[in-house]
Structure 1
Amino acid sequence: MLKSKLFSSSFIASITHKKSNFNFFHCSGRLLLEDVLKERIENFVKSAPVTVFMKGTQTEPMCGFSRNVKLILDLHRIPFKDFNVLEDEKIREGIKEFSDWPTIPQVYVNGKFVGGADIFMQMHKDGEIHKFFDAEGIPSRFSDKFEKTEG
């Protein structure tokens, strides 16, 4: 089913696919996330202090950029929750609109978008990443606040 209206030269269409129950709204060339998909993404982002939308998983990253983000988090001993975008096309496309960022992986800390692999790797190279995590209340192993365990 296709519904459309013309509003001051902007074409807005609501496309409803009966099988998938997945809607996108097209407005002036941009896709706006359906509320249900946006809620799924928001719930995942808020489900852990650090979340990463990546290709593959922590145990099996499927691209070099996702692997680099995982290695940096592991180096700093920052636990994170992953979402494998290769298993969900809707999330893979929707997360790009959600963050207004075109690439994957995407790192979120305390519910806020930090960036993709390039930004995250630059923060690491600049020695700023442990300060960032400290400020977010998530101590890195290189932080004075990190609790060291025996063994």
Structure 2
Amino acid sequence: MEIMDVLKEQVESNPILLYMKGSPNQPMCGFSARTVQAVMECGQKFAYVDVLSNPEVRANLPVFANWPTFPQLWVNGELVGGCDIITEMHEKGELKTLLEEAAPAE
């Protein structure tokens, strides 16, 4: 499968997906740490992809997303943004609402 197809499948099959450096339990940069903290505080389950251990994803996601940096939060197949946008949305209470609406019913 071509990497662009892999990326498309990942963002379409995960209602909440975070591309980050490291893992939620061990972020490998400050931007990823702040972003994952904001997402986790919203209380919804989410998928993640460690771009450091997936060099092909790291190289191609900026082209796929038309967004040059990491982390990247995708919700329902749409790019929401990176650290600054996610942090600001979290502070305003907008992120929690967005993620609650996107989370699959259990």
TM over 0.5: yes
Q: CA deviation at 1:45?
A: 1.2
Q: CA deviation at 1:73?
A: 1.5
Q: CA deviation at 1:121?
A: 0.6
> In the alignment, which residue of structure 2 is the partner of 1:74?
40
1:113 aligns with 2:70: no
Between structures 1 and 2, the one with greater strand share: 1
Higher relative contact order (CA 8 A, sep 6+): 2
> In the alignment, which residue of structure 2 is the partner of 1:28?
none
Structure 2: segments with no counterpart, 5+ residues: none
1:138 aligns with 2:103: yes
- TM-score, normalization: structure 1? 0.63
- TM-score, normalization: structure 2? 0.88
Structure 1 counterpart of 2:84, which letter?
Answer: D
Q: Secondary structure at the match of 1:102?
A: coil
Q: CA deviation at 1:97?
A: 0.7
Larger Rg: 1
Q: CA deviation at 1:130?
A: 2.2
> In the alignment, which residue of structure 1 is the partner of 2:17?
51
Q: CA deviation at 1:70?
A: 1.2
8 Å CA contact 1:73, 1:79 repeated in 2? no
Q: CA deviation at 1:60?
A: 1.2
Count of residue correspondences: 106
Aligned residue among 92, 99, 106 for 2:58:
92
Q: CA deviation at 1:104?
A: 0.1
Structure 1 counterpart of 2:13, which letter?
Answer: S
Between structures 1 and 2, the one with greater helix share: 2
Q: CA deviation at 1:105?
A: 0.3
Distance in 2, matches of 1:121 and 1:72, equals: 6
Structure 1 counterpart of 2:77, which letter?
Answer: G
Displaced runs of 4+ in structure 1, greater than 6 A? none
Distance in 1, matches of 2:96 and 2:42, equals: 7
